[in-house]
A and B are shown apart, each in its own frame.
Chain A
Amino acid sequence: MTKMEATRDGYGQALLELADNEKIVVLEADLGKSTKSLHFRKAHPERTVSCGIGEQNMLLVAAGMAASGYIPFASTFAIFTERAFEQMRNGVARPNLPVHLCGSHGGTHTGTDGSSAQSIEDLAIYRTLPNVTVIHPSDSVSTRVLTKQLAASSSPSYMRTARNKTPVLYDDVGEDIIQIGKGIELQNGSDVAIIACGVLVSEALKAADLLAIEGIHATVIDMHTIKPLDTKLIDVVSERCGSLVTAEDHSIIGGLGGAVAEHLSTTSGTPLERVGVNDRFGESGQAHEMLELMGLNAAHIALAAKKSISRK
């Protein structure tokens, strides 16, 4: 039986493990129970700043603390980080202050809360900001490892986590393979490479199984860091496979698919099919129903893979 955990739990665990460093501070906007910063708050209330329901203020309080030598981790729902986008742009990214913003409940996988809570554009908008690292981990273990690595960074970051449980992929794997900016090759095949992030990495692995039944051998990459993008790895698998698919629970505009397409447009021009939310909003539904409705699950990824292969 596959172990299931939500990536937001990995974030909460990482904050607790980081707490030995007295410069680590946590900022909340009344969603600590949801983003999982509550564990840190319970253990270290003196280093937790409640900003009430005020995301714009939270981002800049974090900036002020970062400018004073602290390492702030601020979190809310991915969708609500967006109302503080200009604060992130002008108050954090521009002066390059190491504020680490975490947006939980990203993507349509968020489920029954419906479209108002399903951010499908966060990766795209934060990717446009100079100095900002953008991360979307695939499981709770990699979320924990990557969050802890961020604490050592001197630049700001945006990390998206997910509300609902997904398979734990790195339970029995050495943590040293998980590094910011380095995609992880989970499966090696020579017919097509599926480059996925977040909750769709486990779907990509299932898609590879479906393809294998038909004798198609797929490479599967967990591209947890959207920026800086691991273009070296993309070049390697592009050369090996000759066709690519990206898969993300995010708009097909501007996210992982957009980033990979930008790279390919000035390099190999390898055929690419993008699996993502097709320029529409979500609705209420269970996580697995949303992946089906939005065309994001394993079956859709496998179809996209075959289409990409046919374009070789």
Chain B
Amino acid sequence: MTTADELREVARKCRVHIVDMVYRAQAGHPGGSLSEIDLLTALYKTQLNIRPSEPKWEDRDRFILSKGHASPGMYAILAEMGFISVEDLESYRVLGGICQGHVDMKWCPGVDFSAGSLGMGLSFGMGTAIAARLDGSDRQTYVMLGDGEIQEGSVWEAAMASAHHELGNLNVILDRNRIQNDDFCETQMRMFDIPAKWKAFGWNVMEIDGHSMESIVEGLEFLAQSNDGPSIIIAQTVKGKGISYMEDNPSFHGAAPNEEQYAQAMKELGVSA
């Protein structure tokens, strides 16, 4: 059993990878990677039934990063899990590299969905969940959505259809970091009562603190135990979490730190120069 302290240490290492990748590429999406990484760390370390040495194992749990631009976060945890090497992270956004700008199942081991266009992952996950049921397998599908992403109408087609089909093996983690590309969600498109919306669509809903490992583990347990229909945990997060000048700052949705900012980030993450 992985302790909360051990999870926090893995997440810290992942944050270092994230900032390294975006700084090296001088492009990418650090904000949403840093908001999601505590969730991804706990999910990969405590829940997913997967085999890093056999990424295409047929009966693996599926994880679908629907907010595919937050790829540095996913590449970081894949490296920490051993699906890819830490050296592979240097290929992020580099011609021919396995770490494509947005996660791509054709390029990177451990990636189950080619994302990058918002609003698609939940539908795809509905498909993998139905396939598991047809196979008579109890393998689970987990989908991570961004909060801005749920402004895409097709997310709600999938939400309605997943409840209609009573997909108890379909689990969603919503990264509620409150910022989207151009600005705060509140400015771009108010979403009002998000938990009430999912409840109204027939989902099991729980709200958690997306940066407390204890709260996250509790949320993942809720997903594991809710089998009568699709379930979602809505994780309150902070965009850019862990790097002071990126936190809650729309400018770091899709921008790389400069040299000085990079040095400060490394210092804040406990990396000695």
By a beta-carbon cutoff of 8 Å, the part of chain A in contact with chain B is 25, 46-47, 49-52, 54, 56-70, 72, 86-87, 90-91, 94-96
- Contacts A69-B58, A70-B134 known; A60 to B106 CB distance under 8 Å? no
- A94 and B102 CA atoms in complex are apart in Å by 13
Q: Which of B104, B113, B126, B129 contacts A57 (CB 8 A)?
A: B126
Q: Is the CB of B126 within 8 A of A96?
A: no
By a beta-carbon cutoff of 8 Å, the part of chain B in contact with chain A is 58, 104-106, 112-114, 116-117, 119-120, 123-132, 134-135, 153-154, 157-158, 160-161, 164-165
In the complex formed, the residue of A with least CB distance to B102 is A90
In the complex formed, the residue of A with least CB distance to B68 is A90
Q: Is the CB of B126 within 8 A of A61?
A: yes
Q: Is the CB of A63 within 8 A of B157?
A: no
Chain B residues, Cβ within 8 Å of A62: 127
Q: List 7 A-B contacts (CB under 8 A).
A: A49-B165, A57-B123, A64-B127, A64-B130, A67-B124, A68-B128, A95-B106
Chain B: interface secondary structure? helix
Q: Is the CB of B117 within 8 A of A60?
A: no
Q: Which of A47, A59, A86 contacts B134 (CB 8 A)?
A: A47
Q: Is the CB of A61 within 8 A of B161?
A: yes
Chain B residues, Cβ within 8 Å of A68: 127-128, 131-132, 135
- A60 and B126 CA atoms in complex are apart in Å by 8
- A59 and B127 CA atoms in complex are apart in Å by 9
Chain B residues, Cβ within 8 Å of A49: 130, 165
- A191 and B167 CA atoms in complex are apart in Å by 61
- A281 and B145 CA atoms in complex are apart in Å by 39
Q: Measured between C-beta atoms, what is the minimum distance from A26 to chain B in Å?
A: 12
Q: Is the CB of B165 within 8 A of A60?
A: no
Q: Which of A56, A61, A95, A96 contacts B130 (CB 8 A)?
A: A61
- A73 and B241 CA atoms in complex are apart in Å by 43
Q: Is the CB of B114 within 8 A of A65?
A: no
- A98 and B187 CA atoms in complex are apart in Å by 40
- A56 and B154 CA atoms in complex are apart in Å by 6
Chain A residues, Cβ within 8 Å of B126: 57, 60-61, 64
Q: Is the CB of B158 within 8 A of A57?
A: yes
Q: Measured between C-beta atoms, what is the minimum distance from B174 to chain A in Å?
A: 18
Q: Is the CB of B117 within 8 A of A61?
A: no
In the complex formed, the residue of B with least CB distance to A62 is B127
Chain B residues, Cβ within 8 Å of A66: 127
5 closest Cβ pairs, A-B complex: A64-B127, A68-B131, A60-B123, A54-B157, A57-B157
